[in-house]
Structure formats: structure tokens, C-alpha cells
Amino acid sequence: MIANQIDKCAEIISQQRTFFATGKTKDITFRLEQLKKLERMIIENKSAIIQALYADLHKSEFEAYSSELFVIKEIRKVIKNLASWAKPRKAPVEVELFPYRAQIYPEPLGVVLIIGAWNYPFQLIISPLIGAIAAGNCAVIKPSELAPHTSQLLAEIISKYFPSEYLAVVAGGVEVSQKLLAEKFDHIFFTGGTAVGKIVMAAAAKNLTPVTLELGGKSPCIVDSDIHLEHTAKRIIWGKFINAGQTCIAPDYLLVDKKIKPNLVQELQKCLQAFYGENPSQSPDYPRIISQKHFQRLVNLLSSGKIILGGETKSEELYIAPTLIDDISVNAPIMEEEIFGPILPIIEYTNIQEAIDFINSRPKPLALYLFSQNQNLQQYILNTTSSGGVCINDTVMHCAVSSLPFGGIGDSGIGSYHGKHSFDTFSHYKSVLKNTFSLDLNWRYAPYKGKLSFL
Ligand code: NAD
């Protein structure tokens, strides 16, 4: 059954509660079977997924694999490790508390809600879902309406492979999201903008529902003068213009040491041309903007400074050329909001402290990038800034390392996931203490007279 009607929300949640109560999802064999089924679902529908991503974002097959379908690898890793993650663990007990035995039991949360964003519309649903399944939950899934082809496909294939009392996609827009948020869940995992994140958290608070908020923000990229110029340019251009800049951890703007700026700008231009050719609108590898509304917002930002490369737009194709902008005022609109598109402002600094102070005067970003071979500077930046994650001498790649928790801090989010961290996010760690009847020491019982020395 494809659950795409707003009035079915309550019924689906109630069916999932009944299914969860059977205890079936707690069985590790069941969870492993579902993960294998999810893997099979992706493999058997690979072409349709690639087509949907192309229809929504003009995403190339390479980007579809490398940034969306790679979740298959995550499924395989989880399958390999699940039995060990799900085992109760012994916890040490203080000697004076003998003969207690302590254990920590991971247990599923129940029925969880996963709300996705449109920029990586497949993996932003499947990646948290892997954690939800692995930890033994039922899930209601709300993909983004702005990627309608992927959203519809997710609804079709998930309903084909899984019963809706276990996993159900509720497709639709803001009104569906609001309807779901009015219901009680055991966890809400939300990916999207900071403003909507606040709405989600306020709705969750009414039911004391815990949340994971994977939000956005302006991720700065500092470029020191002590770098390998060509590698730096390639890694910045790749991280910024993959998915046409519509990536939550894309370097939002550059803060460049004045001494290196002319050389860097030249190398960035060279690199852009090498990646996408003289006319990127003809490149099969360059995506499009998601909607007319987002296109218009980005077009307005183009006038924030001096365009040194790019700037061409085609409204009918939702095309914006990869663009480098110089002479930016730090108060320009482009420096106020998350760009989330193919426009890269370049700001220079003369002293690294200026760059650090600038970053620290703004909301904490999801990612922070530093290009520098100077190990003292690397450590100094780590010690003096705060961000969801940091990647040194590269961009975006930290999110591919599943042992690293992926998430924000402050305005860029709450909580984290990927690999074991996803399992943790969707689990409750239940503390269990066992005593025996073989011994019963009197030190804690009244009358207390003369017993203070035990404490
Ligand atoms: P968005 O916040 O507009 O929408 C996200 C989801 O929330 C969608 O499913 C949408 O239907 C729903 N929604 C929108 N308005 C709502 C409302 N008023 N009430 C309830 N639900 C509502 O975000 P978006 O435009 O889809 O995605 C872009 C943002 O997401 C960017 O800020 C980006 O940085 C961020 N993002 C973060 C991550 C991450 O992992 N941290 C990943 C991708 C995107």
C-alpha cells in the first residue's frame, strides 16, 4: 500500500505501534533480514533511482552513485556489525557496591519519524532509515516534495518491499509534515533548514519526543598561504559545485590569506573550466537548481559582488553557471543566508585571527574547512572554533567516514548519525543493575547511627 494520503497518518502510526508491540523488530535476525531486503531493494531499482535523481536534479550517474547509492556500503557495514552492537554490554561496578552486576541494554525506541530534504533526496531518507531498522524500530518516512520523482519512487519501492505497519512512506508537502508532527512519535529525525528545524523541535516538545536535527548553515573554508595550490583548488571546486552547490556541507564561502588569493583565484578558474568545460550548461556532469523559487533566490544573490567567473543563468533550465564572486561586503545578503547553490564568495584576510573572529561571530557552522600544511595553525583552528565537523586539506569527505559522527552544533543541528552513531541515535541505552540474594549488607539501612564512615 502506498500511503500518500494525509488522513492515513494516524492509522499508519497506530498500525506500526501494534506491530512494534509484537516484539518482532527486536529480533536481530529480523533486523538483518530487513537490512538485506533494503539492500536488495536498492540494487533491483538502481536504474529507476538514477533516473528519478536525474529528473529532479539533473544529477549525473556518477554523482548518483557516489553521493546517494553509496548507502549500500553503509548497509553492508551495519549488517556485519549489528550482532555486536545490539548485545548488552557489561558495565564496571565500584568495588564497594559488590555484588551488584551492571549491564547496558540497547533497545529500540519504537515508532520513529524520518523527514528528509530534497538535495540528496534518496540518501537523506535511506541513511537514517538504516539506523532505524538496525536499532529495531518501525518508521514513518516523509521525503521532500521538492524532489517529486525520488519521493514518489521511494513511496513505491518501500511499499513494495516492506509492509506499511513496519515501514511506511507518507509522501506530500508541508501540510503532511505538519499533520505527522501533530502525532506522537518515539523519535523524530529531521533533515532540513534551521528555521523548519525549530518548528519540528517545538512540535516534538509537546510530546517530549527526542529529536535529531540535521540542519544547515554557512560552512566557512579557510585557505592559508601554506598549501599545495592545485590540490586545494580541485578539492574546493569539487566540494562546492557537486550537486550545483546544493549540499549542506558545501564550503559556503572562502576566507583566503591575501598573499595567496591571486594565485588561488587563477587556479580555481582553471579548475572550474577543467571540470565543466567552457560552457558548463552543456556539461553532462553539472546539475540544475531544484525549483524556480530557489533559482530566483540564487539569482538575486549574484549581485552581491564582482563576478570573476560564471554568473550566466537560464531560467527555463533552472541553470546557474558555477560562479566565483569577489569584492564581497561581509554585510551583503550573500553573507547573511546559507547560499546552497553554485556561487562561491571569496573574502580575503591579512591575519588569521580576523578569519577566526569572523567565524566565531556567527552561528556555529555544520562544517569548517581549513587548507594549510602548518600543523600549529591546524591545531589553533581546532582549538579556537566550534563546528559540527572539521575537514583539513579537503572538503565534504568527512561525511564519507562512517566512524565519524555526522551532525551539527548550535544552529546547525542536534545529534548525529552514520555507522554505529546511527544505531546509537535510534536506540535507548537501558541501564540494568542486578543484585543477588546471597548477601545483604546493612550499611545503607536505617538506623544510620555510626554508619557515616561507610560513605
Ligand atoms: P526544509 O527545511 O525547507 O524542508 C525539509 C523538510 O521539512 C521537507 O520534507 C519539508 O516538506 C518539511 N517542511 C518544510 N516546511 C515545513 C514546515 N513549516 N513544517 C513542517 N515541515 C516542513 O529544507 P530543504 O529546503 O528541503 O533542505 C535544505 C536545507 O537542509 C538546507 O539548509 C541544508 O543545509 C539542510 N540540509 C542539511 C543536511 C544535514 O545533513 N545536516 C542535509 C541536507 C540538507
Per-residue pLDDT of the chain (455 residues; tens, 9 = 90+): 444 467 789 999 999 999 999 999 999 999 999 999 999 999 999 999 999 999 999 999 999 999 999 999 999 999 999 999 999 999 999 998 889 999 999 999 999 999 999 999 999 999 999 999 999 999 999 999 999 999 999 999 999 999 999 999 999 999 999 999 999 999 999 999 999 999 999 999 999 999 999 999 999 999 999 999 999 999 999 999 999 999 999 999 999 999 999 999 999 999 999 999 999 999 999 999 999 999 999 999 999 999 999 999 999 999 999 999 999 988 899 999 999 999 999 999 999 999 999 999 999 999 999 999 999 999 999 999 999 999 999 999 999 999 999 999 999 999 999 999 999 999 999 999 999 999 998 889 999 999 998 77
CA of 123 to the centre of ligand 1 (A): 14
Q: What is the pLDDT of residue 5?
A: 60
248 counts as catalytic: yes
What are φ and ψ of residue 251, in 5° steps? -60, 120
Alpha-carbon distance values, 445 to 67, 95, 96, 414, 455 (Å): 60, 19, 15, 43, 13
Which candidate, 114, 129, 408, 124, places its Cα nearest to that of 249?
408
How many angstroms separate the alpha carbon of residue 247 from the centre of ligand 1?
12
- Does ligand 1 have an atom closer than 6 angstroms to the CB of 147? no
Q: Which one of 9, 138, 221, 248 is the catalytic residue? A: 248
How many angstroms separate the CA atoms of 375 and 366, rounded?
23
N-to-C CA span, the chain: 61
- Catalytic member of 39, 63, 68, 214: 214
Three cell numbers, residue 451:
554508619
* Sign (positive or negative) of CA dihedral 277, 391, 387, 129: positive
Residue 219 CA to ligand 1 center (angstroms) comes to 17
Whether 215 is in the pocket of ligand 1, judged by its Cβ within 6 Å, is yes
| Ligand 1 site, residue 144, Cβ cutoff 6 A | yes
Q: Is 119 in the pocket of ligand 1 (CB under 6 A)?
A: yes
The answer to ipTM > 0.90 is yes
* CB distance 116 to ligand 1 below 6 Å: yes
Give CA–CA dist 39/44, Å, rounded.
9
- Residue 214 falls in the annotated catalytic set: yes
d(CA 255, CA 422): 33
Residue 245 and residue 343 in contact, taking contact as beta carbons nearer than 8 Å: yes
pTM for the whole structure:
0.96
State how far the Cα of 304 lies from the Cα of 301, in Å rounded to an integer: 6
Residue from 6, 126, 248 to probe ligand 1 pocket by mutation (most atoms less than 8 Å from CB): 248
Indicate which residue's Cα is closest to atom 22 of ligand 1. 174
Question: Residue 162's pLDDT is what?
Answer: 98
